[in-house]
Structure 1
Amino acid sequence: MLLLVLAMTLTAFGVGCSDTGERTVESDGTEPVGVNKEVTMPIEAVTTTIVDPGAEPRGSLRRTLEPGTTQQVTLSTDHHVEQQINSQALRDISPPAMTIPLTAQAGNDGVELTLGNVTSSDPNLAKALLPADGSHVGFDVSELGAITALKLAPKPSTPDTARAALEQAFYQAVYQSIAFPAEPVGVGSVWTVRQQVSGSVPLEQVTTCTLTARDGNQLSIELNVTQTPKSTVWHLPNEAGQLEIVDYLMHGTGTIAVDLGLPLPVSGSVQVGGNQTYRDPNSAVTLRQTLRTEVQWGA
């Protein structure tokens, strides 16, 4: 029975590795998305700590966004998942890669995004995404740059498969975004951003940020990401039981370019990946997963 449950639910877990903690999971393992209405997903708060303030001169890192400021940028996401149950054949359950052209506009409390022609490596998903052209996404943003809520408002004609794919893509992008320290810093400064990633397996994510260059509003920041489970078990959806976490290693790196006068990263990428092993305490069932997620920003 557990093998059947795993076959139905692990794909959803591998693709998203997270949810808001406030939504349910359908019997087919997928997460419901809003139909003909905006869906708001709160994002866990961050804690930012300076490790090294860097060289003089030092200054505040704050986005100086004038309401109405616009930016054209493209978000690309690629999530690779392989899993194996016991000695069964290794399965590649990777969702299709997506490329999302965006027009971002700064508002008083956040950023409003308008989607362009979203494309995918999978022809079926690419077709399903066609009606999403012109859909809206919003980020609520704190004064330190942390995203506090994700709002999705796909066009009513957007199929559920496309809605779910867009939700996962933006969710991944949100958790690879950057928050700035409260204190002034200089080139060479290092700070950590600690945040809980909610989900069936709650994770503590720590991103170490290094300011490698600054020219006025132009910043170059290197990232080093680690994720550690905050629980020793994974609670399966629909009260289907739980799996022990045997090992869990997720680590990533990246570099992004930021213009403090624009609402989104200008360019760069972050890749996080690793291996996970789970075991059913009531049987000999063992699940192994290898994951790699890349979030990329560019023109």
Structure 2
Amino acid sequence: MSLRRITATLLVASALSLAGCSSPDPIEEIPAFAVDSPDVNLISNGEGDKQQLVYAFSPQESEIAVNYAANHAAVATDKVNAEAPTGEGLEETTLPLSVSVVDGNVAEFNTDGFRMRWHMDVQGQVEEIKLLPPDGSSDETRATTERALLQIMSTNPVFPVEPVGVGAQWSVKTRTLGDTNMLRTTTYTLTSRDGDTVTLDVQVQEEPAKKTLELDDGNKLTAEDWSTTSSGTITVDLTKLLPTAGENTATTRTVYAGPNPDFKVVQDMTTATTYKK
């Protein structure tokens, strides 16, 4: 799902809203975007008492800081370092989020009038989304807020269906949304559980979804190497839909070979999500 495609739909959505459609809730008129189902694989079910991890749908007030950074440069072939750097000095955008339950397994996330609805199951697998910007918002504000909301959704924990105990580990493979266009494997480790409060260690590995990129001049870039550095520990209150504390961050470096063998194109993409409450 490209950011450009969603932004175009947001413009239509805004027009519908301004036109005053007959529905008392204009987001009902917005087409839903289907989301690819993640591949969830239980690696270890842990030790001791084992229970399912499931979300309860309830209202929530949250504050989440998000960062997305993409940088690329042409580097002399003999100077290329294929190891991903650690994302540091990132500029944060903090979103105050109000979460409400619309109906059954449908939740709405509102930040400064920008609305996003998820339809998801109790393990956290999102099936479809709807987006509606506030009237009068600029294209730049829409794109920035939408990217942040999609990142929050993409990094929200997904649980296995099997009962698990402390030490359990599982992987979630999915395609990232928006401009990143990466295949992401997130490995979660359940490090502690106290009632409805669980702590998860988070490790991420990514690779480009498209290994070949066609340039405007007809030449092509081919991904020949990639690596990810990541870190993360988050706290999840199972009575809420979003983590309540912690941070996860990942930087993926992709090295592309092009028509000039003396140079490579090195691209770094960083996402960081910090849960402040």
TM range (shorter): 0.7 to 0.9
| CA displacement, residues 165-222 of structure 1 (integer Å, 9 cap, x when unaligned) | 0111112222212111111001111111111336788532111111111111111111
**TM value normalised by structure 1:** 0.73
* Pair 1:287-2:265 in alignment: yes
Deviation, 1:159, is 0.4
Amino acid corresponding to residue 108 of structure 2 in structure 1: E
**Contact 2:151–2:177 (Cα < 8 Å) also in 1:** no
CA contact (8 A) 1:33 1:160 kept: no
Contact in 2 for aligned 1:44/1:197 (Cα 8 Å): no
How many Å apart are 1:62 and its aligned residue?
0.9
1:217 matched to 2:196? The reply is: yes
> Which structure has greater strand proportion?
2
Contact 1:154–1:163 (Cα < 8 Å) also in 2: yes
Per the alignment, in what secondary structure is the counterpart of residue 58 of structure 1? strand
TM-score w.r.t. length of structure 2 = 0.79
Kept in 2, the 8 Å contact 1:39–1:153? The answer is no
- Counterpart for residue 265 of structure 1: 243
Alignment check: 8 A CA contact 2:185 2:206 kept: yes
Please point out which of 89, 93, 97 is paired with 1:98: 93
Q: Would the alpha carbon gap of residues 241 and 142 (structure 1) be closer, same or farther in structure 2, given more than 3 Å must change?
A: farther
Name the structure 1 match of 2:10. 34
Which residue identity lines up with residue 190 of structure 1 in the other structure?
Q
Residue identity opposite 2:73 in structure 1? Q
User: 1:96, 1:166 → 2: CA distance?
Assistant: 15
Mapping for residues 1-299 of structure 1, pairs under 5 Å: 20-21=1-2, 24=5, 32=8, 34-35=10-11, 36=14, 38=30, 40-65=32-57, 69-86=58-75, 97-107=92-102, 108-115=104-111, 133-197=112-176, 203-235=182-214, 242-281=220-259, 286-299=264-277
Query: Aligned pair in 2 of structure 1 residues 73, 24: CA closer, same or farther (>3 Å)?
Result: closer
In 2: Cα distance, 1:154 partner to 1:202 partner = 23
- Specify which structure has the bigger relative contact order, considering alpha-carbon pairs within 8 angstroms and separated by 6 or more residues: 2
Alpha-carbon spacing, 1:135–1:23, altered in 2? closer, same or farther (3 Å): closer
- Count matched residues: 248
| Distance in 2 separating the partners of 1:200 and 1:275 | 15
Q: What stretches of structure 2 of length at least 5 have no aligned partner?
A: 17-29, 77-88
Deviation per residue, 1:23-82 (Å, 9 max, x gap)? 659xxxxx64512054744322111111111112101111133xxx31111121122333
CA distance in 1 between partners of 2:35 and 2:229 (Å):
21
What do you get for the CA RMSD once the two structures are aligned? 2.8
Q: Give the Cα–Cα distance (whole angstroms) in 1 for the partners of residues 270 and 2 of structure 2.
A: 22
